[in-house]
Amino acid sequence: MSTSPHIPPFEVTPQIVNLVAEIAERVGRLTDLRERPLRLRRIQQVRTIRGSLAIEGNTLSEEQITAVLEGRPVIAPVREIQEVRNAILAYERLPTWDPSAESDLLEAHAVLMKGLMDEVGQYRRGGACVLAGERVLHMAPPAGRVPELMAQLFTWLGSAQEHPLITSSVFHYEFEFIHPFADGNGRMGRLWQTMLLGRWHPVLAELPIESLVHQRQSDYYAAIEASTKVGDSAAFIEFMLECVLQAVREPTLDVTAEATARVMPRVMPRVMPLVLELLRAVEGEQSREELQRALGLSDRKSFRERYLDPALAAGVLELTLPDKPRSPNQRYRLTPLGEDVRREE
């Protein structure tokens, strides 16, 4: 088997340089944060699993995934529950695997796909393609080339000199291009990038980057397709780094949620009745006008001062466009903390 040096084709564009610099700067601010409470880390884990599996068609909600995590019964398709159980175990075992070890990749695939297919932990023996729904984005290399291509990819990963933010994205793209397994390639590629990012900075392994990829699923596939067309993964690198930047930039990093958890006993007694009324009315992502109508309120100023602003301040509601607070396309949605409050009240 040939393992001759091979460098995946990618251009480090000015946009990539800027994204790496901003992510590194923002992550640097997190180094003094105390360890986040287990409950908040669990919320992020659930969001991560929900995002990655939803891209593959899994329909379980965050509430149902939480129930599986806690060992409570869930009424859902057996296969989808198995996918969640496997993902929970795989993400728990991330610290035990070496991202540069091909044998660990095969072991991770066996964990992630247990009970879902026959050839777990084995490279595919037949043809494969990358699909976006019913559309074929890319025909993968023949099965006979997979062992050699994966060996080359791991050889490159072990000696790559680029920033980990870049190498993790390149690996993710090349992995999807090779499509080494008969099934589970998407979730494996995202899992491995998460592990690579976590080795650079542990906080990145706990952020729900996969959830943000799910929110931009069409862009995810478009980036794969664009990179494949030109034979250069720069477009995919830029997309993934945008998702990472959004994850470290958003208040749902849970720095805000952690602070909220500490001040909830002081804040919530004063605003609890009206905030809870608002939380009960939220369905997915809604505009201010839609929320007002749902509550039967006509006075915009009163709604904002008595309902909306307190909910945002308490960290139970968030903007869908945090960088554009005045955008006409602005929507509001529950944060993980808000979902907990609504579920527990």
The residue with greater pLDDT, 80 or 266, is 80
**pLDDT confidence bin for 38, thresholds 50/70/90:** low
CA 341-308-35 angle, 5° bins: 45
Note whether residue 207 is domain-resident.
Answer: yes
Query: 294 and 156 in one domain?
Result: no
CATH number at residue 192: 1.10.3290.10
The residue with greater pLDDT, 262 or 276, is 276
Query: 277 and 220 in one domain?
Result: no
Answer with the one of 249, 275, 302 that is the final residue of a domain: 249
Beta-strand ranges (E) seen in the chain are: 129-132, 135-139, 317-319, 332-334
Average pLDDT, the chain: 84
Looking at 89-93, 191-195, 204-208, 285-289, which range is the least confident one? 204-208
Note whether residue 3 is domain-resident.
Answer: no
Answer with the one of 232, 249, 266 that is the final residue of a domain: 249
Query: 299 and 201 in one domain?
Result: no
Note whether residue 78 is domain-resident.
Answer: yes
Answer with the one of 233, 249, 265 that is the final residue of a domain: 249
pLDDT at 1: 44
Note whether residue 195 is domain-resident.
Answer: yes
Distance from the first to the final alpha carbon of the chain? 60
Query: 199 and 281 in one domain?
Result: no
| Nearest Cα residue to 173 out of 222, 101, 215, 104 | 222
Query: 137 and 55 in one domain?
Result: yes
Query: 194 and 175 in one domain?
Result: yes
Residues 339, 309 contacting (CB under 8 angstroms) = no
Note whether residue 83 is domain-resident.
Answer: yes
- Mean pLDDT of the region 31-48: 62
Query: 308 and 213 in one domain?
Result: no
Note whether residue 5 is domain-resident.
Answer: no
Number of domains in the chain: 2
The boundaries of the domain holding residue 260 are 255-344
CATH number at residue 259: 1.10.10.10
What is the C-alpha to C-alpha distance for residues 61 and 168, in angstroms, rounded to an integer? 28
The residue with greater pLDDT, 172 or 71, is 172
How many beta carbons lie within 10 A of that of residue 102, not counting itself? 16
DSSP string covering 244-285? HHHHHHSGGGTHHHHHHHHHHHHHHHHHHHHHHHHHHH--SS
Query: 338 and 238 in one domain?
Result: no
Query: What percent of the chain is modeled with pLDDT above 90?
Result: 46
Query: 198 and 49 in one domain?
Result: yes
pLDDT at 166: 96
Note whether residue 8 is domain-resident.
Answer: no
| Nearest Cα residue to 6 out of 138, 154, 146, 141 | 154
Residues 108, 184 contacting (CB under 8 angstroms) = no
Each residue's pLDDT tens digit, 253-263 = 444 444 444 43
**pLDDT confidence bin for 190, thresholds 50/70/90:** very high
Query: 294 and 189 in one domain?
Result: no
Q: Give pTM, 2 decimals.
A: 0.70
Each residue's pLDDT tens digit, 140-185 = 899 999 999 999 999 999 989 999 999 999 999 999 999 999 999 9
What is the C-alpha to C-alpha distance for residues 162 and 101, in angstroms, rounded to an integer? 19
Query: 274 and 237 in one domain?
Result: no
Note whether residue 312 is domain-resident.
Answer: yes
Query: 172 and 194 in one domain?
Result: yes
Whether 274 has a pLDDT exceeding 70, the answer reads yes
**pLDDT confidence bin for 345, thresholds 50/70/90:** low
